[in-house]
Amino acid sequence: MTDQLQSGSPKSVTADDVAAMAGVSRWTVARAFKKAGSISAKSRKRVMEAAETLGYVPDLSAASLGSDRSNLVALLVDDFDNPHKLVMLERLTRILREAGYGTLLVNMLGEKDAPEALLTASQRRVDAAVLIGTQFDEGIRRTALGARRVKKLIVFARMSPSPDTVSIGCDDVTAMEEVTRHVLARGYRRPMYLAGPDTESTRLFRKETFLRVWSAEHPGSVPAVIHARSYSLADGRDCALAFLRRLSRDTRPDVILCENDVLAMGAMDAIRADLKLRVPQDIAVTGFDDIPLAASPAYDLTTYRQPITEMAQALVRVLGTDGTAQGTILPGRFVIRGSA
């Protein structure tokens, strides 16, 4: 029993073995495994039975050598601090697998690492490289041009302006309009915006939309905007605290709109644990993403849920498209809870 796993069968079973057993040629075996293969029902049955008893499964890495598609997509992630990434990974791996794709998970260690990360993906002949909520894409795009094996570059949960990448994301503009209107309707007067790192490559329109809608309603008033060093709980807390601590009761904001839930939770930690204030009575907070913990009574965060499932389905559609595919922008859902 012990070594069955190691040396159960010296060589793995190939299409030839199945062909021999079924009394057909290797190519007929291959046809039996393609849904569109022109093959008689009889021999397909024979082949499938032989494959079953032999435990044969086609070798995809060999298959991708001959054909020009591997049914493999690389998921490039650069920020594992955000629990929302786990939601995305779950949905993407599930839906991609159901559509017949394998997923290669590549950890981008930093901006300088991006080209190499893409390279390792291209070495596996991926059908597409998907940047998941990545902050930088311009440099990556250029290396993608170099790595000829990357056939498609897809930006997921972000909007890329590059003409040769496909973006699939949530409709940030509509979303943030809704959030801002809600904040306006609740009568808040001194808003503040807590954004992520202030890099020009960030392609979110949340901040801009908020400022636009707010200013339209309150001409002349310019909300404060601060940028956290990273999208992490600790940085969100530090950043919010550093800003709020210097303000008096009258000058401090009465609502903080945050670029995502993690920053929002950090801000809530600062407000409650550090400043000993209450949410939402003293300062209200909104987030973005609706990560699982946002629903916990410990935060009870008003936030906006991205349509991850629909976005993943759109991704599958793009993968199936041969030519130049269209990007997709999908509406999410505003989730009102107690924090604002």
Scan residues 27-56 and list those touching DNA (CB under 7 A).
27-28, 30-31, 33-34, 38-44, 56
CB of residue 93 vs a copy of itself: minimum separation in angstroms? 4
Which of 48, 54, 58, 174 is close enough to bind DNA by CB under 7 A? 58
If the CB atoms of residues 210 and 299 are measured against a copy of itself, the closer one turns out to be 299
Q: Is residue 59 a contact point for DNA (CB under 7 A)?
A: yes
CB 285 within 8 A of CB 268: yes
If the CB atoms of residues 32 and 255 are measured against DNA, the closer one turns out to be 32
Contacts 24+ apart (CB under 8 A), 176-181: 176/205, 176/206, 176/209, 176/210, 176/213, 176/304, 177/209, 177/213, 178/304, 178/334, 179/210, 179/257, 179/286, 179/288, 179/304, 179/334, 180/209, 180/210, 180/213, 180/214, 180/257, 181/213
Q: Is residue 319 a contact point for DNA (CB under 7 A)?
A: no
CB 171 within 8 A of CB 183: no
Considering only residues 224 to 283 of the shown chain, the ones binding a copy of itself according to CB under 8 A are 232-233, 265, 268-269, 272-273
The separation between the first and the last C-alpha atoms of the chain, rounded to the nearest angstrom, is 60
CB of residue 119 vs DNA: minimum separation in angstroms? 13
CB of residue 173 vs DNA: minimum separation in angstroms? 41
If the CB atoms of residues 71 and 162 are measured against DNA, the closer one turns out to be 71
Q: Work out the angle between the directed axes of helices 233-244 and 261-269 (0-180°, nearest 10).
A: 50
Which of 20, 48, 63, 295 is close enough to bind DNA by CB under 7 A? 63
If the CB atoms of residues 10 and 163 are measured against DNA, the closer one turns out to be 10
Q: Is residue 338 a contact point for a copy of itself (CB under 8 A)?
A: no
Instruction: Name the 3-class secondary structure at 313.
Output: helix
CB 239 within 8 A of CB 186: no
Which of 49, 52, 81, 198 is close enough to bind a copy of itself by CB under 8 A? 81
Which of 52, 62, 146, 215 is close enough to bind DNA by CB under 7 A? 62
Q: Is the link from the previous residue into 280 a cis peptide, with omega within 30 of 0? A: yes
Question: Alpha-carbon distance 59 to 16, whole Å?
Answer: 12
If the CB atoms of residues 180 and 286 are measured against a copy of itself, the closer one turns out to be 286
CB 188 within 8 A of CB 181: no
If the CB atoms of residues 58 and 197 are measured against a copy of itself, the closer one turns out to be 58
Evaluated on CA atoms 21, 25, 31, 37, the torsion sign reads: negative
Q: Is residue 292 a contact point for a copy of itself (CB under 8 A)?
A: yes
Q: Is residue 44 a contact point for a copy of itself (CB under 8 A)?
A: no
Residues at the site binding DNA, with contacts judged by CB under 7 A? 11-12, 14-16, 24-28, 30-31, 33-34, 38-44, 56, 58-59, 62-63, 65-68
